[in-house]
Amino acid sequence: MSQPLLRSRIAVITGAAQGIGYAIASRFVDEGARVVLGDLDAAAVAAAAERLGGPDAAVGVRCDVTDSADMDALLQAARDSFGAVDIMVNNAGITRDATMRTMTEEQFDQVIAVHLKGTWNGTRKAAAIMRERKRGAIVNLSSLSGKVGLAGQTNYSAAKAGIVGLSKAAAKEVAHHGIRVNAIQPGLIRTPMTEAMPEKVWEQKMAEIPMGRAGEVDEIASVALFLASDLSSYMTGTVLEVTGGRFM
Ligand code: NAP
């Protein structure tokens, strides 16, 4: 019988109380990892960790990724609970969609802070720990919106394109320490974030997808598993599109 892909690995996943982050955490646990989940809502993230098997398998920590001290505490929780950090998934995200004409400066700053500063915090702080053991895999959640730019998302498209540049620059800095950094660009995935969109917007987006359907969170989790595991041992600085062919 084959070994689980993440046997005895320790993974930290941000924004993991629900949606894509939770699906990634769940898939990692199924493959033998122990996981530390970070999210804004302390009760929700604790409940998510409990659903994944409780303290032997999963720990939930309240963490705002824009706050440097919170990110330190999240990573320290992984070391205190399980002894190391082998995998970091920077997944936390928000949208504050509006056209440029109506978008407030606050909406722009919030989205840049959560995605870009949050991913920068997670990437640099996880890498600083991983280099001690000369191994690690970092997976950053970008978006198709960062590849093509979507109307109403000047903040989000900028942040998600920025995550690509950040991931590539970081990949070059840490490759010689045995750390790989890769990014995923999901298309339309069914989560609480997208289910909040009006029906008309859903229909417009569906019409752009050659495969004719939205993606499921498990279909992002399996690509995150690939990038986090040794299956992708010779890949760094890459961006994988998981989009059903949309905007290929
Ligand atoms: P989601 O269901 O809204 O989950 C995101 C989680 O991140 C939420 O629990 C959210 O908490 C949390 N979060 C927000 N701000 C945070 C912060 N400052 N610190 C820590 N946690 C924070 O979204 P999702 O659809 O799973 O998205 C996950 C990632 O995939 C995001 O980076 C998103 O941009 C990206 N993505 C999603 C899609 C899609 O179609 N769903 C497509 C492309 C890319 P609250 O609920 O309390 O805000």
**232: which DSSP letter?**
G
CB of 189 within 8 A of CB of 141?
no
> In a 10 Å sphere around its CB, with 0-12 CB exposed, 13-18 middle and 19+ buried, how is residue 238 labelled?
middle
- pLDDT single digits (tens) 137-194: 999 999 999 999 999 999 999 999 999 999 999 999 999 999 999 999 999 999 988 9
Q: From 66, 72, 121, 191, give the residue whose CB has the most ligand 1 atoms within 8 Å, as the site to mutate.
A: 191
Return the DSSP state at 196. T
Ligand 1 atom at minimum distance from 15 CA: 7
Confidence band for 2, pLDDT divided at 50, 70 and 90:
confident
21 lines ligand 1 (CB under 6 A): yes
Q: Which of 22, 27, 39 to mutate to test the pocket of ligand 1 (most atoms within 8 A of CB)?
A: 39
Residue 126 above 90 pLDDT? yes
Please tell me the distance between residue 94's alpha carbon and the centre of ligand 1 in angstroms.
5
List active site positions.
156
| 15 Rama class: left (phi>0) / alpha (psi -120 to 50) / beta | left
Nearest to 227 by CA among 215, 240, 242, 208: 240
Q: What confidence score (pLDDT) does residue 136 get?
A: 98
Sign of CA dihedral 131, 133, 134, 140: negative
Query: For the segment 199-239, what is each residue's pLDDT rounded down to a tens digit?
Result: 998 999 999 999 999 999 999 999 999 999 999 999 999 99
Tens of pLDDT, residue by residue over 28-78, are 999 999 999 999 999 999 999 999 999 999 999 999 999 999 999 999 999
* 77-118 residue pLDDT tens: 999 999 999 999 999 999 999 999 999 999 999 999 999 999
Q: Determine the pLDDT at residue 48.
A: 98
State if residue 112 touches ligand 1 by the CB under 6 angstroms criterion: no
For residue 1, the model assigns a pLDDT of 66
Yes or no: say if 107 and 119 are a contact pair by the CB < 8 Å rule: no
Alpha helices in 14-117 (DSSP H): 19-30, 42-51, 68-82, 105-111
pLDDT recorded at residue 159: 99
Residue whose CA lies nearest to ligand 1 atom number 10: 15
CA dihedral over 5, 7, 13, 17, signed as positive or negative: positive
H or E stretch at 66: none
| Structure tokens given for 123 | 């990437």
Closest CA to 144 of 136, 153, 135: 153
For residue 23, the one-letter residue type is A
What are the Cα distances from residue 195, in Å, to 161, 199, 225?
A: 23, 9, 24
Is the C-beta atom of 15 inside 6 A of ligand 1?
yes
